[in-house]
Amino acid sequence: MKKFKISTKTAIAVYAMLAVVLLSGCADNTTSTTKRENEAQQRIYGKESTVYKGREYHIIEVDGVEYIASYGGGICPLVKNNR
């Protein structure tokens, strides 16, 4: 059985390319959006995300009204309680 041999230069180049792809592919670009010409104003804004008791929840704002949404499904308007 033949052994597969790779040079050190080739290995370093492969690892460098892999690192570049992984780091650029995982960039977090959620904080900005691209505005196109004649596009309507954005209506949905992500405000907050959290994990509580193993479940992921998000607070979003749609047309000025805040909602809580769960990753598993479901959405409910938030009602502010003035105690």
| pLDDT attached to residue 59 | 92
Whether residue 6 is predicted with pLDDT greater than 90 in this model: the reply is no
The pLDDT tens digits of the residues spanning 16-57 come to 888 877 776 655 555 566 667 777 778 889 999 999 888 899
| pLDDT attached to residue 60 | 92
In our burial notation (b when 16+ CB lie closer than 10 A, e otherwise), range 69-82 reads beeeeeeeeeeeee
Look at residues 46, 41, 13, 16 and name the one whose alpha carbon lies nearest to residue 28.
46
| pLDDT attached to residue 66 | 92
How far apart CA 14 and CA 22 sit, in angstroms, is 12
Non-local (6+) Cβ contacts of 57 within 8 A are: 49, 50, 51, 68, 69, 70, 71
| pLDDT attached to residue 72 | 82
Q: Which of the two residues, 26 and 3, has the higher pLDDT score?
A: 3
Residue ranges covered by each domain of the chain: 44-83
Whether residue 67 is predicted with pLDDT greater than 90 in this model: the reply is yes
- Mean pLDDT to the nearest integer, 58-79: 89
